[in-house]
Each structure stands twice: as C-alpha cells, then as structure tokens.
Amino acid sequence: MVRSWIVVMMLTCSDLVFAGVPVTDRAQDLLFPRAPVQTTAAESYHRELQRLASLGKLDVDKPRLLQIRQICSRLIAQAILLKPAAAHWPWEVHLTSDPGVAAYSMSGGKLLVGSDFIDKYHLNDNELAVALAHEIGHVIAEHVREQISMAAGFEPRVPNRTVNVVDVINSMESDISVFLRLQPLSRLQEMEADDIGIELAARAGVYPAAIISFYTKLARQDGGRSIFDTHGPSSQRVEFIESMADYARPVYAASYKKNVPAYIFMPKYHVNTASRAASIR
C-alpha cells in the first residue's frame, strides 16, 4: 500500500465517478480523479526504490528480474485488453531482496516483488505468474483509489471545505475504526483481485493447475492462513480458487498456442550500481 500522499484537492459532486471493475463489472464510486492518485503513488514507490537501492537490495539479481518482467509483460498486455486506459500508465516492475517484502502493487502499475517470497514458496514461473496477476488485478481495478474514496466519505461533507488526501490516508493507516470500516471492502477487493488475476493468468497462457498449486502453497505454508491480511481462512480461499480454476480452463484453452502479446517496459528508473545511488530519469 502507498505509505505517503501529498495531494490536496476540492471534492465536489462533479468529481464523483461511477466506474466498473474489469471482469467482475462491479460498480465503483470513485471520488478522487485518477491522475493525482497515480502521481502520488509513483512518488511513494520511487522513494521506496531509492531506499532499497541505498541498502543494496534493489534489482541485484538481474536474471530473476528479467524473468519477472517477462512474466509481467504478458500479464500487463492482457490487463490492457481488459482496461485500455492502462496502456497509458507507466508500468514498472522491480525486485528486492528485502525479506519484509512479498509482492505488492501501487496505483498506476507499480509493482515490487521480494525474492524471499519466491524462494519461501518455491514458486515456478507459472505460480509466480498467478501471484503477479493478482497484484495486477488490484491495479486495473483501481482498488486503492476506491478505498481512499470510501474513507473520505466517512467524514461528514462540509460545503466549500477542502478535503486533504494526506489526512484521509493517515486516518486509514492510524485510525482502527477507519480500518475496520474498510475491512468489508478490502475483503471484497482481495477476492476480486483473485478473480481478475485468474482471468489474466489464463489469458496469458498460464496452465490452470498452477492456480491451484500456488494458492495451496500459501495455505500449507501459512498454517491455513492467507498471507493477505484482508483474506479469510486460506482453506476457504482455496475452495473458491478451485472453482475459478475450472472457469479458467476454457480461457486457457482459447489462448493455448496463440501468439500471446507482451507489454514493452519503458525504462523509468536507473540504479547506479557503483555508488548505490538511485535517480529518476
């Protein structure tokens, strides 16, 4: 999740956008415009990249980084087909050896993957694709933007009052009551990211058996609990995934042996490995 936000804006009735989530078609009420949310997410993401680079924990394993980006390139290409606006987002994928990082995404197509996470679960390429598809599902569903919009709505609307997004995010992170009120949406979004991710993986040529094996590994190694805090018991999640894997088989069959398109990453971030200094370009 995004750790810091520096956006201040006026919220009026004209800002309210009613959107639909790809794959599920669930209606969303999006109070904040897309651009400032993505811009602020990118600022936070790049600060984290700089921190990791300064510790020598960013993109050190070049072959694995290439592997992850190749997997993501197929998934992102399918995500763009589901959400054409995503073609204009500056997608980035990086790898860290920080043991505290599993895999997460930020608004606008910013992904960070932990090498320890891959090793802990002994993920093969197909299983890793399922994990990454889940994160990309969050991105194209604009889940963070939706959560901020809902959290802002918890406070009474005051005419002509400026709503500070920094305050909204701070309340999301520090106020347990806000966290609890967001939990139903968070759980729904996690299931939705599973749903979208399975669709993306199958479209990208990931064999459906990998969907079941990935989520089974999570359940087995985490003692029946999901690594995602907003999920329920992993046993229930695996039951849902098994049914979704059945759905994914014809989707996979339709993509099998086809020339699956790939997204071409445009370099946005450069690490000077000699000095361990990071700079945006």
The reply to whether 264 falls in a domain is no
Distances from the Cα of 101 to the Cα of 76, 91, 114, 223, 266, angstroms = 21, 19, 5, 19, 24
User: 2 in a domain, yes or no?
Assistant: no
Count how many domains the chain has: 1
Q: Indicate left, alpha or beta for 222 from its phi (over 0: left) and psi (-120 to 50: alpha).
A: alpha
Residues 50 and 44: beta-carbon distance below 8 Å = no
Domain that holds residue 17: 8-258
Answer whether 96's CB lies under 8 Å from 115's CB.
yes
| Residue 271 host element (H or E) | strand 269-272
Task: Answer whether residue 131 is part of any domain.
Answer: yes
**272 part of a folded domain:** no
- Tell me how far CA of residue 171 lies from CA of 36, 115, 122, 129, 258, in angstroms: 19, 31, 37, 33, 47
- What SS3 state is found at 168? helix
* 265 found inside a domain: no
Q: Is 193 helix (H, G, I), strand (E, B) or coil?
A: helix
pTM, rounded to two decimals: 0.84
Asked if residue 276 is part of any domain, the answer here is no
Local confidence pLDDT in tens for the 281 residues of the chain:
333 333 333 333 334 555 789 999 999 989 888 888 898 889 889 999 999 999 999 999 999 999 999 999 999 999 999 999 999 999 999 999 999 999 999 999 999 999 999 999 999 999 999 999 999 999 999 999 999 889 888 876 666 667 766 677 777 878 888 888 988 999 999 999 999 999 999 999 999 999 999 998 888 766 544 444 555 556 677 777 888 888 899 888 888 767 788 998 876 544 443 333 333 22
Residue 268 within any structural domain of the chain: no
